[in-house]
Amino acid sequence: MALLIRNGEIITADSRTKADIYCEDETITRIGPGLEAPPGAEVVDAAGRYVFPGFVDPHVHITLPLVGVSAKDTYETASRAALIGGTTTLIEMCCPHRGEDALAAFEHWMAQAAGRSACDFTFHMGASRFDGKTEAALREVVRRGVSSFKIFLAYKGTYGIDDLELYRTLQLARELGVVVAAHCENETLIAERQRELVAAGRTGPGYHHDSRPPAVEAEGVHHLLSFAELTGAHAYIVHLSCKLALDEAIAARRRGVRVTIETLIQHLLLDKGLAERGGFEGAKYVMSPPLRDAANQPVLWDALRDGTIQTVATDHAPFDFSGQKSLGLNDFTKIPNGIPSLEERIKLLYSRGVREGRIDLRTMVDVASTQAAKAFDLFPRKGSVQPGADADLVVFDPDFRGVISARTHHMNVDYSAYEGWAFQGRPSVVTVRGRVAVRDGVFTGDPARGRFLRRTPGRA
Ligand code: URP
Ligand code: ZN
Ligand code: ZN
């Protein structure tokens, strides 16, 4: 089956070109002006539209057990929502608890995705302890095509690893050429500050920030990168939220530490005042690291523009407000953390980033697609528009105007942190390896087209 996308402006991380794109089966085979389609080919007219490489979200949770409940999406719901929003590749975290068998967890996470995803996917393999059995499992998972680990320095007792485990995990990653994605917050400080706040009767969602202020995150970044420096491992800091933490990462980079930095669309656009909203409304905005003082946002945008921060992800974690977030009604430490955003990342990055002059179009492609593909051994198959790449393409209508609402989104969660936000620009056609999957906000594709992407460490 052939596909021709004609008359669009192709935007990559380093170029803007008016040209047609011809795809055969799953792959882009030709790019140039005035390409002809053979009889029977599907033709998409992209006049007046941008054509982007499919976007890659490198940090997603679809199911995630936290404080006794699980994030609510399934691969069916999350992959459709992702595609409608222009994201064609997901990297989910396979997330075993400390007590769980890592290989069994990997197989469980794979079973949740295989044959049920409309878009392509892969995993970061969670390392939530380190012993002989876990090491063997991690080696086996790498053999099965996973080239990144994920660790938590937070979530004491469930996912968090201690310093010896951290050191050994990074040594193994260095040996295997695997990148280590890390949630950087000091778990001991969090646990103690939570205890102090709750004991003082400060139990509302607005106190979540005080339990893990910027210094707690900055210490986590410094901590991780000291270990990365000693082991030579490549570290990927997930959801960096503030200037203090960024300064630590920059200092380590100057010392020669290999570190890639991710921020989130939430930290770029939402601030801590939202979590301080009256009643229990603020619980919708509880995530970790917390939403920060708005003064951090221009620092993050600047760092995206100048290449200090490489990626923008969502850390999508869909916990309902009613029945899940509400578990923390009398104690903010029991609110499951996360702000669902998978479907909204690209339209927000375009509306608030590009249209409002914070980043240009090429930077948008770079931070939302290309850099993630490079960091996680998917480039140039993903993250690029070039012959030989997978035909994952986003034809983007810059003039469409809409309003975000939980009533119309496709994520399986009962609220939107962006309820009522106006946006301009959205994907009008999205393809998954050469087949149209979305037209004008409606999923029209094959619900099981998505494949597990086998990755080889260090190829990018
Ligand atoms: O609040 C967050 N970030 N929830 C998802 C789990 C994690 O820490 O990544
Ligand atoms: Zn995290
Ligand atoms: Zn996460």
Nearest ligand 1 atom to alpha carbon 288: 1
Examine residue 42 and state whether it is found in any structural domain, yes or no. no
Ligand 2 centre and the CA of 240: distance in Å?
9
Nearest atom in ligand 1 to the alpha carbon of residue 286 is 1
Ligand 1 atom closest to the Cα of residue 61 is: 5
Report which bound ligand comes closest to the CA of 183.
Answer: 2
Cis? peptide before 340, omega within 30° of 0: no
In a domain, 397, yes or no: no
CA–CA separation, 387 and 28 (whole Å): 5
Q: What are phi and psi of 330, to 5 degrees?
A: -110, 5
The rounded distance, in Å, linking the Cα atoms of 417 and 420 is 9
- The encoded tokens of residue 235 equal 């570290």
Q: Is 257 helix (H, G, I), strand (E, B) or coil?
A: coil
- DSSP for 80-108, please give it: HHHHHTTEEEEEEEE---TTS-HHHHHHH
d(CA 160, CA 158): 6
- Nearest CA, atom 3, ligand 1: 288
Q: What is the DSSP letter of 337?
A: P
- Candidates 166, 82, 158; CA nearest to 117 is 82
- Cα-to-centroid distance, 118 and ligand 2 (Å): 25
Measured in Å, residue 437 CA sits from the centre of ligand 3 at 26
- Where b means 16+ CB within 10 Å and e means fewer, 285-323 reads bbbbbbbbeeebbebbbebbeeeebbbbbbbbbbbbbee
Residue from 396, 355, 354, 348 nearest 48 by CA: 396
pLDDT of 67 reads 85
Judged on CB neighbours under 10 Å (0-12, 13-18, 19+), 339 is buried
Query: Which pLDDT tens digit goes with each residue over 296-335?
Result: 999 999 999 999 999 999 999 999 999 999 999 999 999 9
Instruction: Compute the distance between CA of residue 391 and CA of residue 107 in angstroms, rounded to an integer.
Output: 28
Substitution candidate for ligand 1 out of 61, 67, 93, 153 with most atoms within 8 A of CB: 61
Which CATH number is 269's domain given? Answer: 3.20.20.140
| Residue % of the chain over a pLDDT of 90 | 97
Average pLDDT over residues 426-438: 98
Q: How far is residue 255's CA from residue 247's CA, in Å, rounded to a whole number?
A: 13
Cα of 18 from ligand 1 centre, angstroms:
40
Q: Assess whether pLDDT exceeds 60 at residue 294.
A: yes
Q: By alpha-carbon position, which residue is closest to atom 2 of ligand 1?
A: 338
Residue nearest to atom 9 of ligand 1 (CA): 315
How many other C-beta atoms are found inside a 10 Å radius of the C-beta of residue 434?
A: 21
| CA 355 to centroid of ligand 2, rounded, Å | 29
Q: What is the pLDDT of residue 1?
A: 85
Q: What is the pLDDT of residues 142-175, one digit of tens each?
A: 999 999 999 999 998 899 999 999 999 999 999 9
Residue closest by Cα to atom 8 of ligand 1: 288
* Strand 179-183, strand 148-152: pairing: parallel
Asked, for residue 36, whether it belongs to a domain, the answer is no
Nearest atom within ligand 1 for CA of residue 93: 9
In a domain, 405, yes or no: no
pLDDT at 443 over 80: yes
Per the structure, the complete domain to which residue 194 belongs is given by 54-375
Our mutation pick for probing the ligand 1 site, out of 91, 217, 288, counting the most ligand atoms within 8 A of Cβ, is 288
Tell me the pLDDT of the chain averaged across its residues.
97
Per the domain annotation, does 26 fall within a domain?
no
Atom number of ligand 1 nearest to Cα 155: 8
**Cα-to-centroid distance, 98 and ligand 1 (Å):** 17
This prediction has a pTM of: 0.98
pLDDT at residue 156, as a whole number? 86
Judge contact between 413 and 404, C-beta under 8 A: no
Crossing angle between the packed helical segments 187-199 and 214-231, to the nearest 10 degrees: 160
Atom of ligand 1 nearest to the CA of 71: 5
Report H helices in 281-325. 296-305
Structural contact between residues 183 and 151, judged by C-beta atoms closer than 8 angstroms: yes
Instruction: Report the nearest-CA residue for atom 5 of ligand 1.
Output: 338
pLDDT mean over 21-37 = 97
Q: Which of 315, 333, 334 maximizes ligand 1 atoms within 8 Å of its Cβ, making it the mutation to test the pocket?
A: 315
What Cα–Cα distance (Å) separates residue 231 from each residue in 12, 75, 223?
35, 36, 13
Q: Is residue 294 part of a domain?
A: yes
Evaluate if residue 460 carries a pLDDT over 70. no
Residue tagged 């049920």 (tokens):
116
Domain count for the chain, please give it: 1
Distance 289 CA to ligand 1 centre (A): 8
- Residue 425 maps to a domain: no
Tell me which residue of 7, 99, 90 sits closest to 47, measured CA to CA.
7
Nearest ligand to residue 266 Cα = 1
For residue 189, pLDDT over 60 is answered with yes
Across 435-445, average pLDDT: 98
* Cα(151)–Cα(158) distance, integer angstroms: 11
**Sheet strand arrangement including 148-152:** 55-60, 87-94, 120-126, 148-152, 179-183, 235-237, 259-264, 311-313
Say how many Å lie between the CA of residue 179 and the centre of ligand 2: 16
Cα 267 to ligand 3 centroid, rounded to whole Å: 13
In a domain, 6, yes or no: no
Q: Which residues have CB under 6 Å of ligand 1?
A: 61, 183, 239, 287-288, 315, 317, 337-338
* Closest ligand to Cα 59: 3
